[in-house]
Amino acid sequence: MTPPMTQTKPLDGRIALVTGASRGLGAASAEWLAGQGAHVVAVARTSGALEELDDRIQAAGGHATLAPMDVTVDDAMAHLCRSIHDRWGKADIWVHTAIHATALTPASQIRDKDLDANIRTNIRATARLIAMVEPLIAPSDMATAVFFDDAGDPMYSGAYEMSKAAQRGLVSRWQAETAKFGPRVELLQPKPMPTAVRARFYPGEDKEALARPRDEAARLLAPLFAG
């Protein structure tokens, strides 16, 4: 009797690094990638949320490695990238969703600690991670880095929007610099979703009218990786 054929998935054998994977679009992206066959390395500060993510991935038949760490700690992230290289030789995909947003504040009243926190996560960590991850994914024939942008932030979100504008500029320059030889760099625009960041800016908003992170992950990532 001939054994049944095992159905292959688009990302079988691929390694996907997801930074900011504990909740929202990061968690949804990790689940989608795992569902397509990738082994996901999920990075976030919250161990409990990562464990819940791992439970969902395993329940769906996927595989993940959890990395509970802070993307702003250079030594930790460098060690992680080295560990991925030592174990698999490379990664294929990097999805970056780690973000920091402080409470709404008038531009004239932004506190130094809020300004520094936005800069540390949204600008500096992104720049350092690009430097670390580019050589990690460069050997892959699928080398892809994915970032997400948001637009239309309300008044009083100046510290956040300033840091996001800088991140947007950095990513778009990396995208232009690598357009010919890779890696492929994507800056995608999700629809408004009921995330923790958005809740800071729009308290009391009707969440039922917003897109689900799971749906947005599939809509944005499927054109890149599902055929």
Provide the residue-wise pLDDT of the chain in tens; the chain has 227 residues: 555 556 799 999 999 999 999 999 999 999 999 999 999 999 999 999 999 999 999 999 999 999 999 999 999 999 999 999 999 999 999 999 999 998 889 999 999 999 999 999 999 999 999 999 999 999 999 999 999 998 666 788 899 999 999 999 999 999 999 999 999 999 999 999 998 888 888 888 888 999 999 999 999 999 999 76
Residues 6 or more apart whose Cβ sits within 8 Å of residue 139? 89, 90
Residue 61 region, left (φ>0) first, then alpha (ψ -120 to 50), else beta?
A: left
Report the candidate in 47, 24, 42 with the shortest Cα–Cα distance to residue 150: 24
Q: H or E element: which one contains 134? A: helix 125-137
63 C-beta neighbours (distance < 10 Å), count: 12
Q: What is the 3-state secondary structure (H, E, C) of 45-113?
A: CCHHHHHHHHHHHHHCCCEEEEEECCCCCHHHHHHHHHHHHHHHCCCCEEEECCCCCCCCECHHHCCHH
- Domains with residue ranges and CATH for the chain: 15-222 (3.40.50.720)
Is residue 175 within 8 Å of 118, Cβ to Cβ? no
- B/e letters for 100-124, b = 16+ CB within 10 Å, e = fewer, are bbbebbeeeebeeebbebbbebbbb
Is residue 148 within 8 Å of 103, Cβ to Cβ? no
